[in-house]
Chains A and B, each alone.
Chain A
């Protein structure tokens, strides 16, 4: 009779929702979205009612919790062990179903819809079938006869859950939305979902109390510690790439599970020493509220205050009872959730990474909580000597910090008000408060370090992938040719710079913008411009010291970014800072560079003898470079740059600070190198030198190439490089009549 009522009520409720949302609106021509909104609102209302009805069950007696090892109690004497096992398993399934029915209307993800439309009806129909047995397991066989209050409560719960699931099922059938993969996923996830909200008495009911104690790093305790770390890691890996709704659903589900497992035991056993004011008990409530209402203040209180306390409780447990005992199970569930839910909340981006303001808020909330807990302790201790919220009254904390005993007992103040005694430990409390705040800051540092590590690893992974992609891109561009060949063989005898732009990190301004240039073999090419014009930037990118923001640079057909080794093998570079290893001798330095440029023993010996003789360094080549003058260092760098006889010789301000003889020697060397069919590309401020030895010049100003000029043509037309340069340097357009071939 009751079962029929339940089914009829469910059907009626479901019909009402569908009718309210679907039929009436369609008649009035409302669109699908509006219809869905109405349906969603109706379902949410039903889910809120279901929450209230389920809360009545959660906070009341459930006599199946007294069964141990399937031995029927006096209240359930008519139940066989098999029936008790069946009811226990059904209770396990129901826990998931009721939470799914409560949550599904609030989420638009298919996983929630599948749960509500397929799993919930299955479980609640079973509950309806075993309705009488269910009610008997709540209140005992004798008390369960007839139409009792508990039957009414459970009937309402079944009806509401079935109504919600019926609406979801109706939608599913109407849209023919039966994706096998999604359904299989749902079935696969069910077991962990059941474990997440396992009725605390379930294991004891089924298996009795085997001798398993999780204390002092025993195997069980170690397993619990491993679970505390492995489960969140797995959840993170499984959920990190899922859509926000799925991540939010998963964590909110766990938060609800924490609340349900906590109150399924405490709910029937309230005393003054059992108010949820212990930090981790408070955490369970706050976590539910923070995930359901997305309250940042409550969430970060958990994040900064609770995680640490709960972690300590997991590692140094305060509970050494039999593992299958409900209160022990509650201890572990409570603390494990309090450790990992806040961390996952941030890791899975349900809540943003905290800033110092959130930390400050947490300290304020914690301080209020702390004062409240201390005062409640002093008051409630009058009624129950076991009251000890946050361990502020008894000596749990002092057992670890024995030196602080005097702090508590030498500064104790007792205040008598009527029959009530209020005991205060101000210094001890202050000490605990300060200690905890310090630990919060320590936690902040640990979080910050972890964020940095994870970000870093993420970036590293992405960059590695980019490198692989670049290599694949190059292979594709080479179209089967060996990678050691030039990417563009037609440019084998030239430097080619195309649309080169460079921006330094963090700057919005381009140091060089859209620079194009071609330099051919046999040329001495001068590159001039004012200080900060972009000469060194261009040169540094050309030789591979700096990255290229936009465009390409090719040396003898090799792209400097895509084929850096091959391109560099063709370059000899003299930097503007003539930095050399000062503790090496000149010979050792040149030999070292020759090693890097893969020069044969014969070639390096021959070339070194030639250049050492040319620059007159015979007497100083075996001295440590730190004793060299500026000019000598520059000569050593020049020899090192030419030791592999490069096709392209790039020099950045090579003549700065040199005496006339040294400058002359280097200029001669440049001319000779170009004469041999190579390219000499150099930047300089010395206009006379540029004019004298260059075949062509390029002028750069404020990061832009102003023009490329043939020096002979320029001279023939009666213009000097100096006039030209000064024209640009003054911010003008050079001089009239100077034909540029940009």
Chain B
């Protein structure tokens, strides 16, 4: 059994990290040196960050902060592992191959967990380990602390992997349920949104106005420390880890840590073993028969109308997909309401007001452009169906505009809702709502075109044809990155001109319009030239 697990694990690691690719010793040494340098750079950066926290923000950098940051990072890690393991365990590309090997299903499961653990450990070498060292340096810890850092990093990496494996089962069940019944997803989203609105209202209602950050700074620091201490109360096993690192009851803490890992492993194995194979092989053949009689009339439409209707029908029948694609975008009104509630409670000066506009533009563009990943996979998501675009005797490039229109409508609605929400914030008077809306509309419009163009130039038709919803698309990541860059740039442009004085909005809108015009020209030309070149 152990040999089989070892072989399966090594196979997966070989595919992931391609150790065999490097035969040249010099290259190997260089790669190791480069990685070591990267770790040193991260340690240096973390040390600098802690120096800033200590010297500029005046927050303590002792054990409490360490535990707080470690706990936060591990919560994120658990969430990431849950998602990652769900993909690796149940949607893994290698599942059909591994399952067909002469090994038991739980051995495949264990090998997958081990391979994932190695990946997590490597990740932690670049983050958790440097964090241990940076805190060690800033607190002047002894040699034993640094030795323990290595051991604890290795042990610590087990926890998110095991927790993630367990949680992924629950998430898989929820996902399958939502797949079967759309309304569950919609209901869940609405419920979460409503809860968030209530929470935001509660937070904003409890604020003392005006907030004077400098006057209350000492209080802020005290409150922050108090908050960290309270939060650390839930840290459970991480409290023991930090305790062991700082030399408190080392033996007991190590025993608790090891016990937790063993216990978690037992729970995971016991719950996953009977379920793993069934869930990993859950296919799309469970599709329910759905009848739609309303479209019986064979009505004739123009080319654009045909595309738009098709997009609308598919969108309406995949509400969960829509929500998932536009999740961040839909959060914009609430996020603006929350952040502006804080900002305006500070009774900002003229400069502060300008900064608020800049932050609003940045935040809005972050969230709006995140929804444009739908356009960044517009052609790819056609998959094998794209052959129809190639064989139809019509200007099928018009499908681009139908797809873009859907994305554009969503963003217009969200921008309008956001501006309305912004208008509701107390004290927001004379804020340049329509100028902000116009700027967002233009920049986001340009970004939608850009995102589509990314997919047009590099369509992943084969990938989508084979994997459907499970397909990976590099164009989505590119669109996300370009959205972040655009958000930052537009924020900087806004603050630059607003600080400069008169006519600032015209210049900001001018630049936004320039960006939109440039993207439009490029998009139209790219569509004309490259759409016809897409091959399958």
Residues of chain A touching chain B, judged by Cβ–Cβ distance below 8 Å, are 217, 402-404, 406-407, 434, 457, 460, 463-464, 467, 540, 543-547, 564-569, 571, 573, 575, 577, 579-581, 583-585, 587-588, 591-601, 604-605, 608, 622-624, 626-627
Report yes or no: B289 in contact with A623, Cβ–Cβ below 8 A: yes
Given contacts A543-B390, A583-B318, contact A588 B529 (CB under 8 A): no
Task: Please state if B291 and A596 are interface contacts (CB–CB under 8 Å).
Answer: no
Knowing A540-B536, A545-B535, the reply to whether A579 touches B383 (Cβ < 8 A) is yes
Q: Given known contacts A547-B535, A584-B310, A608-B298, is B388 in contact with A596 (CB within 8 Å)? A: yes
Q: Assess the A584–B289 pair: CB atoms within 8 A.
A: no
Given the known inter-chain contacts A460-B525, A592-B309, please indicate yes or no for A624 contacting B317, CB distance below 8 A.
yes
What 5 A-B pairs are tightest by C-beta distance, nearest first?
A: A579-B384, A595-B306, A569-B393, A568-B393, A596-B392
Residues of B in contact (CB 8 Å), total 55
Instruction: Report A-chain residues with C-beta under 8 Å of the C-beta of B394.
Output: 565, 596-598
Residue of A nearest to B315 (CB): A583
CB of A105, distance to nearest CB on chain B (Å): 45
The distance in angstroms between the C-alpha atoms of A433 and B309, with both chains bound, is: 58
Least CB distance, B279 to chain A, in whole angstroms:
21
A-B contact pairs, 14 of them (CB 8 A): A406-B51, A457-B522, A463-B529, A463-B530, A464-B528, A545-B391, A579-B384, A587-B296, A596-B396, A597-B392, A599-B300, A600-B300, A623-B292, A624-B287
Nearest-Cβ distance from residue A566 to partner chain B, whole angstroms: 7
Q: Verify if B147 is at the interface (C-beta below 8 Å from A).
A: no
Contacts of B435 in A (CB 8 A): none
B260 within 8 Å of A by Cβ?
no
Nearest CB in chain B to that of A453: its residue: B522
- Which of B298, B385, B526, B529 lies in contact with A467, CB distance below 8 A? B529
Within 8 Å CB of B396, what residues of A? 596
Question: Most A CB atoms within 10 A — which of B298, B303, B391, B526?
Answer: B298
Tell me the complex Cα distance, A564–B397, Å: 13
Interface hub of B52, B300, B313 (most chain A Cβ within 10 A): B300
Chain A positions within 8 Å of B526 at CB level: 460
Whole-angstrom distance from the CB of A136 to the nearest CB of chain B?
48
User: Are B533 and A547 closer than 8 Å at their CB atoms?
Assistant: yes
Query: Is B48 in the interface zone, CB < 8 Å from A?
Result: yes
Determine the chain B residues whose CB is within 8 A of the CB of A217 once the complex forms. 500
What's the dominant secondary structure at chain B's contact region? helix
Q: Are A591 and B298 in contact (CB under 8 A)?
A: yes
Q: State whether A403 touches B298 (Cβ < 8 A).
A: no
Chain B residue at minimal CB-CB distance from A462 = B529
Say which residue of B298, B305, B383 sits within 8 Å of A594 (CB atoms).
B298
A464 in contact with B393 (CB, 8 Å): no
A544, B390: Cβ atoms under 8 Å? yes
Q: Which residues of A have CB within 8 Å of B284? A: 626
CA distance A597 to B303 in the complex (A): 9
Alpha-carbon separation in the docked complex, A605 to B297 (Å):
9
Chain A residue numbers with a CB within 8 Å of B530 are 463
CA separation between A624 and B317, bound complex, in Å? Answer: 10
B140 in contact (CB, < 8 A) = no
Chain A hits for B299, CB < 8 A: 591, 601
Q: Which residues of B contact A564 (CB under 8 A)?
A: 393, 532
Report yes or no: A545 in contact with B298, Cβ–Cβ below 8 A. Answer: no
B55 at the interface (CB under 8 A from A): yes
**A593 neighbours in B (Cβ, 8 Å):** 388, 392
Cβ contact within 8 Å between B528 and A467: yes
With A403-B55, A544-B390, A568-B393 as contacts: A579 and B525 at CB distance below 8 Å: no
Structural contact, B314 and A601, CB atoms closer than 8 A: no
Task: Please tell me if the beta carbons of A544 and B295 are within 8 angstroms of each other in the complex.
Answer: no
Bound complex: CA of A487 vs CA of B33, how far in Å?
65
Q: List residues of B (376-416) whose CB comes within 8 Å of A's CBs.
A: 383-385, 387-388, 390-396
A566 to B394, CA, bound (A): 9
Q: Which residue of B lies closest to A626 (CB)?
A: B287
Contact (A545, B306) CB under 8 Å given A605-B298, A624-B289: no
Is A623 touching B309 in the complex (CB atoms < 8 A)? Answer: no
Residues in A neighbouring B392, C-beta threshold 8 A: 568, 593, 596-597
Asked whether B189 is an interface residue with its Cβ less than 8 Å from the other chain, the reply is: no
CA of A406 to CA of B388 in the docked complex: distance in angstroms? 66
Q: Tell me the complex Cα distance, A566–B393, Å.
A: 7
Q: Complex: how many Å from CA A584 to CA B295?
A: 10
A467, A588, A605 pick with most chain B CB within 10 angstroms: A588
**Which of these, B55, B293, B298, contacts A604 with CB under 8 Å?**
B298
The residues of A that contact B305 with a CB separation of less than 8 Å are: 595
B16 interface hit (Cβ, 8 Å): no
